Amino acid sequence: MSILNQKTINKNISLKGTGLHTGLNVNLVIKPAEPNTGIIFKRIDLKENNIIIPNIFNVSSAIFCTTISNENDVSVSTIEHLMGALYGMGIDNASIEIDNQELPILDGSAKVFIEAINEVGIKNSNVPIKIIKIEKKIEFNNGEKIISIEPSKISLDIDFELKYENKLIGTQRNTVKVYESDLTDIYNSRTFCLYEDVEKLKEMGLAKGGSLENAIVVKNNQILNKEGLRNEKEFVNHKILDCMGDLYLAGYKIIGKIICSQGGHKLTNQLLRKVFQDKSNFSIVEIKEKSLPHAIINKRNLRAIA
């Protein structure tokens, strides 16, 4: 069976926890799904209109997390870490059942999702995968926040930079090749915020479930979490995880190169909306191993993308 065929998970994954912003308790079940299902969310606390598709045009808010809504205004939020995990692990199809409006934040990273997927294992199908190939360079900026995507041969590269006035965070930059690099540090990197922003977020009715158990909190030049950082570039690595998750809302894996400075959920979404506005910006390719000329894509690369 071709490694380029669509994949799902072997068995149900059940997790529970608290929503970062809502503070609500939530049960989450990730279920295997048939080829060509894609990733779908189902709000099982509701009897009807409860399916929400993680698509860039369904993003109803991207300020502090990514929220998607269906045409009946049924929403599910903070989907980005799970979406990033599914992207990185090559899961094309899964049905995600949730009994509340926000995904559990768990430890603030994608670590628990990755461990759970590795535990149940991955199931291959006999249906080829599709990919989105970027054909032209597209850029979107909002003041100092800049993001662009341009064509690449076979990889998805993410080059991300963040700049904080806070000296401990400061300027951090990292580049990953999503289909080739070891993504452990990316998956393990937690969400973070400045201590002085915690009160502001709470006044806005956000971060109700936030704690040192699920977020890094930085106060001046100090990290308030006893255990410190999990890796040297944890701040920017978390932004790369967010970016991967937000990119997966394109529907398929992407071949292209992202360069981003000071971006976030909203900027990634705005870039993708711009890309998909014009059909000459991209092509959707069904990858069949047999039909590929070996001169273009060698086996090692195929293994990396699948």
Rounded to whole angstroms, the Cα distance separating 13 from 10 reads 9
Q: State the binding string over 191-210 for Zn ion (x if CB under 5 A, else -).
A: x-------------------
Q: How far is the CB of 110 from Zn ion (least distance, A)?
A: 9
Q: How far is the CB of 264 from Zn ion (least distance, A)?
A: 9
Cβ-based neighbours of 49, under 8 Å, separated by 6 or more: 70, 71, 72, 74
Task: Return the number of the residue (30 or 240) whose C-beta is nearest Zn ion.
Answer: 240
Distances (CA, A) of 63 to 227, 265, 270: 28, 7, 12
The catalytic residue positions are 265
Between residues 19 and 32, which has the closer beta carbon with respect to Zn ion? 19
Cβ–Cβ under 8 Å, residues 103 and 28: yes
Least spacing, CB of residue 103 vs Zn ion, in Å: 11
- Residue 93, helix vs strand vs coil: coil
Closest CB to Zn ion among residues 187, 282:
187
Burial zone of 121 (CB within 10 Å; 0-12 exposed, 13-18 middle, 19+ buried) = exposed
CB of 115 to Zn ion, least distance (A): 18
| Contact flag: residue 67 with Zn ion (CB under 5 A) | no
Rounded distance between C-alpha atoms, residue 176 and residue 183, angstroms: 8
Q: Which of these ranges, 88-96, 129-137, 205-213, 241-249, lies near Zn ion under the rule CB under 5 A?
A: 241-249
Site for Zn ion in 172-191 (CB under 5 A): 191
Enter the tokens of residue 76: 């599910």
Residues 242-261, mask of contacts with Zn ion (x by CB under 5 A): x-------------------
Half-sphere exposure of 130 (CA within 13 A, CB side): 15
Question: How far apart are the C-alpha atoms of 188 and 141, rounded to whole Å?
Answer: 28
Sole window of 25-33, 131-139, 194-202, 240-248 interacting with Zn ion (rule: CB under 5 A):
240-248
Query: How many residues of this chain interact with Zn ion, rule: CB under 5 A?
Result: 2
In the bound complex, what is the minimum distance in angstroms from residue 31's beta carbon to Zn ion?
Answer: 24
C-beta nearest to Zn ion: residue: 242
Please, which residue, 161 or 289, has the CB nearer to Zn ion?
Answer: 161
Q: Which residue number, 6 or 188, has a Cβ lying nearer to Zn ion?
A: 188
Distance of alpha carbon 197 from alpha carbon 176, whole angstroms: 29
How far apart CA 77 and CA 79 sit, in angstroms, is: 5
Residues that bind Zn ion (CB under 5 A): 191, 242
